[in-house]
Amino acid sequence: MTTPIRRAMLKGFVRSPDMPSTLTVAEPYLIQQDWNAYTSEQHAIWQELVGRRMPQLRQYACQEYLSGFVQIGLREDSIPNLADVNRRLGPLTGWNATPVSGFLPPDAFFEMLADRQFPTTTWLRDRESMEYTPEPDIFHDVLGHVPMHAHPVFADFLQQYGKTCARIMHDKDALERMGRLFWFTVEFGVIRQHGQIKLYGSGLISSHGESTHVIEGRPEIRDWNLEQVLNQTVNVSEMQPVLYAVESFDQIFEAAKEAEALLCR
């Protein structure tokens, strides 16, 4: 689905002349962010969205996320300029938030992750969709995902994940199991820090409802177990009944390598 707001934001966007040439499958989906095209109303929406989330995140997001937010120069009062974000992020871990036109097919998505490029949409939801949008926007992609890319171990994990998935594109069952690893880490990951459950998954970071669900202790929090994660049923249309907590991000990096050994045989 392409919303009117997204169509408006994509109008006039052109392929960036300096986009990385290492991509092949994903190349047709790359665009250039026209930061000057954002309106004052859109910057105000961004400020309101971030303002709603930050009080909770300052208390319940993991330290690595909060550090990354500062390191990549995110601001609460204006939509991020991805070029500015990348000037800060690149020297930290080699990752880039790369503008794309929307949802990518799996092979293009994995190609980008394997190349340390995170597919980042540039459109922003409108006021009628403040609580939820069915497709990712720049608020979800940047606020939810990109601060974690400043953490070296998480950054290595995400690249390893992309490389593994690119290798198993022919195996539907293996790819589905890897999708569960993504779901319970990148999207709905939690970590134990100082005796408390902290958030790092983008689905929790960007959603007040999902994060409150966790903070109030409603889901079952299980110790990290790769075998269980790869076989755990996922329902994307409901609040998560089960989450898996890691003790450190080394666990998910090792899990990505273990999953590769298991599924690429």
Q: pLDDT digit string (tens) for 232-260?
A: 999 888 999 999 999 999 999 999 999 99
Q: Which conformational region is residue 195 in: left (phi greater than 0), alpha (psi within -120 to 50 degrees), or beta?
A: left
Pick the closest to residue 186 from 172, 173, 200 (CA basis): 200
Largest CA distance in the chain: 53
At 215-235, the pLDDT tens digits run 999 999 999 999 999 999 998
Residues annotated catalytic, as ranges? 140, 145, 187, 206
Given a cut of 90, whether residue 7 has pLDDT beyond it is: no
At 170-181, the pLDDT tens digits run 999 999 999 999
Residue list for the binding site for Fe cation: 140, 145, 187
At 52-75, the pLDDT tens digits run 999 999 999 999 999 999 999 999
| Strand bridging mode 190-193 / 196-199 | antiparallel
The CATH class of 4-263 is mainly alpha
Given a cut of 70, whether residue 4 has pLDDT beyond it is: no
pTM for this one? 0.91
Q: Which conformational region is residue 216 in: left (phi greater than 0), alpha (psi within -120 to 50 degrees), or beta?
A: alpha
Residue list for the binding site: 140, 145, 187
Q: What is the mean pLDDT of residues 182-193?
A: 98
CA distance 14 to 86: 19
